[in-house]
Amino acid sequence: MLPARYAHAVPGPGEKGQDIMFGLSELAIILIVVIAVIGIKKFPELARSAGKSARILKAEARAAKDEKAGTGPAPRVVQGEVVPPSTGTTPPGAAGADAPDHR
């Protein structure tokens, strides 16, 4: 406890000035200094990454909105042809019916 003659100089618990350690202006200055010291080299990469993330987020939000509305893109139909199985050896890596099971 402080003597009575010093009590006016120090705010008590719960009084104005005791609740907040840093003000908004101090935090902004600290943030600017940290970015300037550490982030100068990484800033272009960070900005590029943030842009890509924003584009992906926007595309996903648009897709979710379209899906909810039922106006999503039409399913893609792939044209192909049926190839009959060859009468010969099986390709390497393809397990045939007579291949032993090595479990």
The DSSP call for residue 82 is -
Residue 58's domain comprises: 40-70
93 lies in some domain: no
Tokens representing 22? 């840093």
pLDDT at 16: 56
33 lies in some domain: no
3-state class (DSSP) for residue 54 = helix
84 lies in some domain: no
5 lies in some domain: no
60 lies in some domain: yes
Please give the tally of structural domains in the chain. 1
Q: Name the one residue in this structure whose structure tokens are 């042809």.
A: 81
Convert the pLDDT of each residue in 29-38 to its tens digit: 998 988 888 7
Q: Name the one residue in this structure whose structure tokens are 């909810």.
A: 68
* pLDDT at 54 exceeding the cut of 80: yes
Residue 100 banded pLDDT, cuts 50, 70, 90: low
97 lies in some domain: no
3-state class (DSSP) for residue 7 = coil
Torsion of CA 11, 15, 19, 20, to 10 degrees: -60
Q: Name the one residue in this structure whose structure tokens are 């379209």.
A: 66
54 lies in some domain: yes
Rounded Cα distance, 98 and 17, in Å: 83
Rounded Cα distance, 5 and 83, in Å: 99
Q: What is the mean pLDDT of residues 40-62?
A: 90
pLDDT, averaged across the chain: 75
47 lies in some domain: yes
